[in-house]
A and B are shown apart, each in its own frame.
Chain A
Amino acid sequence: MHFTLHLTDACNLACRYCYVKQDTHYMSEEVARAAVNLAAGTGSHCGIIFFGGEPLLCRERIVETVRYAEGLQKDGKGPFHYKITTNGTLLDESFLRYSAEHEIFIALSHDGIQPAHDLNRVHSDGTGTFADLEARAKLLLQYRPYAPVMMTVPPNAVSHYLEGVEYLYNLGFRYLICTIDYAGAWTKDTLEELERQYQLLAKWYREKTLAEEKFYLSPFEVKISSWIHRTHYRAERCELGKKQISVAPDGTLYPCVQFVGEEAYCIGNVFSGIDEARRQNLYLLNEEEREPCSGCAIRDRCNHHCACLNKQATGSFQTVSPVLCAHERILTPIADRLAEKLYKKRAAMFIQKQYNDMFPLLSLAEDKLFYQK
């Protein structure tokens, strides 16, 4: 079970596609501790995700919360693991050293090459943030070589998708989590360009895989896995409020990040606990098959059950986003053709990554033994 602590709704940036209504609410120490206590009560392996706004505006709260959770762990609770999603502009060596010592996983939001990144990831005065990040990204990878990078692809930057992935890869990121901006103003033209970019990315992926390089490029990995591990994929799809809960700065609980601040979706409070009836009600509503998707041949491999994305794109978690639908129809056949080619060649890296359950462990062992000082 993961608890996403929205430490603040304030941010030092003003990204144009951001869905968070910026304000100046900050989570108190009392609320953060109560959230950790709640997480500890849900069983073993509790994920604590520090989220925002920009969570590094609340550095002291992070340190206090981790210290508190570590104390609980010594008393037999947890174990806890930690993650931060940050825009990176406030990352510095002292925090990176701290994150390495306390095993805090850091995910960096970055949109690739400068023309794409600076279109949307901007300071409040409208200037881009790209220049603030290159040195920080390298420093991050120095301390946390497995740090994932979170790349958002909005329609106005879609033509830079491949270049963005290449840039981030060359910078040293090997875990590339890419998502399109589902709430963006997509048109048929920009979707056609998206398809072209995915075809180019498939070629890039194939070449890297045949060269036996190790990396994770989320759109293809997820879609290929949705076929190879189809039963698991169906079982693991969005379970609204069951695996992840968002905690607002005031301690109110919501089923996912898109719902924070909307009273209708409140499922409890860190002090009074989870309102199981409300949580179950939302979960069951989300489980209902969406009528337009009922006859779709790829619905079991599609992300149309993601309540968060639907909420972001359409305003209702039960209404499937047409952009999401278009994206799935574009991506799935490209990913399948890519996988077929690699399978036919019996590409060793593809076979190991996709079919060997122990691949992450073996890969990590290789890195530790041979590549990391």
Chain B
Amino acid sequence: MDQEIKITAVKSYRIPGYPVQEEAVRSPNLLKALPKHWRAKPVMCMALAFTITSGLCACMDRSEGPGLQIPVFEHGDGRSSFGCDSVSPPVFLSEEEAAQVIREEAILQGVDFSGSKTIHGEFPATSFYSFRENRPAPGTWNGTLDLDGYDSQIGIGFEYVSEQDFSAWSEDKHPVATIGSYDLKGTAERMSGMVSDVAVFYDPTDEFKDFDWSQVGMDTEQYQEYLAQFEAEQKEQMKDQLREQVRDFLTWLAGEGVI
């Protein structure tokens, strides 16, 4: 064997963007994704229905009625970090900024997210340190969630996974390190597997590479001015990415025959 091949422990590994079985069990309608050649055979549909209703199949929420499970539409990295090795200061879209973008884009297709709805269930917890070795994947929390918007006509709501949400859902009791990470996209993907009739969007924040650290040495006023300009530029990009998420969702919704 080549001398250069060595055992190398993987220091950190991101949480995969597909659910584990325990999460999938709580996903209503996941198994309603039927292969076409099953759909064409009534006996196969009946066999599947039988396995579900007779409790032979673990992966189905039997308490919930029909609902749509809406995928997360990927536009923007959705990951950012803070601490000494950050590439740039993190920039986030607030709940209000994001809601405005989402509502504006949705109403163009006749979807009115001005309503509200509270849902009950299990939702993803978060951790700033789950990327670190030996840290367990974050778990879940039980409770109620006030959706960020709801269209009562079509029975679809949305939840925007923001920096504020990530902090509120954190299960970190104490700081573990000076470096932490926001995995907003991963959180959105986990949440989308746990809810039905809810579009989950995420803050498209990124490790922006073009932050000019040489500006940090300027006097406070100049630095604040540069930072404000940097944030404004990044936010415009992020709003565009969030719009793309919403557009993809609306296209998908049309494909499902909802709008």
Contact = CB atoms under 8 A, between A and B. Distances in A.
Contacts, number: 134
B5 A349 contact: no
B31 A356 contact: yes
B8 A339 contact: no
Contacts of B48: 356, 358, 362
A292 interface: yes
B18 A320 contact: no
A231 B23 CA distance: 13
A292 B59 CA distance: 36
Interface residues of A, number: 51
B41 A370 contact: yes
B224 to A, nearest CB: 39
A32 to B, nearest CB: 38
Nearest to B134: A295
B35 A357 contact: no
B16 A227 contact: yes
Nearest to A290: B7
Nearest to A292: B7
Contact of A297 (B5, B13, B57): B13
B20 interface: yes
B30 A355 contact: yes
Interface string B68-101: 0101101000000000000000000000000000
A229 interface: yes
A365 B47 CA distance: 9
A227 B189 CA distance: 15
Contacts of B177: none
A358 B56 contact: yes
A355 B31 contact: yes
Contact of A339 (B16, B38, B43): B16
B31 A357 contact: no
B1 interface: yes
B225 interface: no
Given A357-B57, A358-B57, A362-B44, A345 B71 contact: yes
Contact of A340 (B11, B18, B22): B18
Contact of B18 (A188, A294, A343, A366): A343
A348 interface: yes
Interface string B36-73: 11100101100110010000111100000000010110
Contact of B7 (A325, A342, A355, A362): A325
A260 B80 CA distance: 53
A320 B8 CA distance: 11
Contact of A344 (B51, B58, B71): B71
A187 B47 contact: no
Contacts of A187: 2, 4-5
Interface string A294-312: 1111110000000000000
Contact of A357 (B41, B58, B133): B58
B237 interface: no
Given A228-B20, A230-B20, A344 B56 contact: no
Nearest to A322: B5
Given A292-B9, A296-B9, A322-B6, A212 B37 contact: yes
Contact of A346 (B9, B22, B33, B47): B33
Contact of A188 (B4, B17, B47, B134): B4
A356 B24 CA distance: 10
Main secondary structure of the interface of A (DSSP, over half): helix
B38 A366 contact: yes
Nearest to A182: B1
A346 B71 contact: yes
Contacts of A295: 9, 11, 133-134
Interface in A311-361: 320, 322-323, 325-326, 329, 332, 336, 339-340, 342-349, 351-352, 355-358, 361
A191 interface: yes
A349 B9 contact: no
Contacts of A348: 33-36, 38
A290 to B, nearest CB: 8
Nearest to A325: B7
Contacts of A265: none
A356 B59 contact: yes
A349 B35 contact: yes
A362 B5 CA distance: 44
B71 A366 contact: no
A228 B21 contact: yes
A369 B30 contact: no
* Interface pairs A-B: 3 shortest CB-CB: A296-B9, A343-B18, A297-B13
22 contacts: A224-B18, A228-B18, A231-B22, A292-B9, A295-B9, A297-B9, A297-B134, A322-B6, A322-B7, A325-B7, A332-B13, A344-B17, A344-B72, A348-B34, A349-B35, A355-B21, A355-B30, A356-B57, A356-B59, A361-B51, A362-B51, A365-B44
Given A228-B24, A369-B43, 10 more contacts: A187-B4, A188-B2, A227-B18, A296-B9, A299-B9, A329-B10, A343-B19, A352-B31, A352-B34, A355-B59
Interface of A: 185-188, 191, 212, 224, 227-232, 292-299, 320, 322-323, 325-326, 329, 332, 336, 339-340, 342-349, 351-352, 355-358, 361-362, 365-366, 369-370
Interface of B: 1-2, 4-13, 16-22, 24, 30-31, 33-38, 41, 43-44, 47-48, 51, 56-59, 69, 71-72, 74, 133-134
